[in-house]
Amino acid sequence: MSRLERIVIDPEVVHGRPRVRGTRMRVTDVLSLLAAGAAESEILQNYPYLTADDIKACLEYAAAQADHAVLIAS
């Protein structure tokens, strides 16, 4: 399974926001924890249902979402 397969979107769960498969943990929740300075080990300790690959998948998903073409009208 590629890491991105760990991220799922289901309109019936957490209002259709991207989340870690098998949990209700949204990608944005993981990113917010990292942005606030939480270490991966701290996140894994506080959320034992997450794995290191889940955290990496959230980062990979965010990077993919941020990588889009910018079109400039001339």
> Does residue 54 belong to any structural domain of this protein?
yes
Q: Which two tokens stand for residue 58?
A: 């959230």
Helices (H), 1-74: 27-35, 40-46, 52-66
Helix (H) or strand (E) holding 8: strand 7-8
For residue 51, the Cα-to-chain-centroid distance in whole angstroms is 12
Q: Identify the CATH number of the domain in which residue 35 sits.
A: 1.10.10.10
Residue 1: the pLDDT is 60
Top pLDDT among 74 and 31 is at 31
Instruction: Record the pTM.
Output: 0.87
In the predicted structure, residue 19 carries a pLDDT above the cut 90: yes
> Does residue 22 belong to any structural domain of this protein?
yes
The total of structural domains in the chain comes to 1
Domain that includes residue 21, residue range:
3-66
Helix (H, G, I), strand (E, B) or coil at 26: strand
> Does residue 50 belong to any structural domain of this protein?
yes
Residue 26: the pLDDT is 98
> Does residue 73 belong to any structural domain of this protein?
no
Report angle CA 24, 41, 51 to the nearest 5 degrees.
Answer: 40
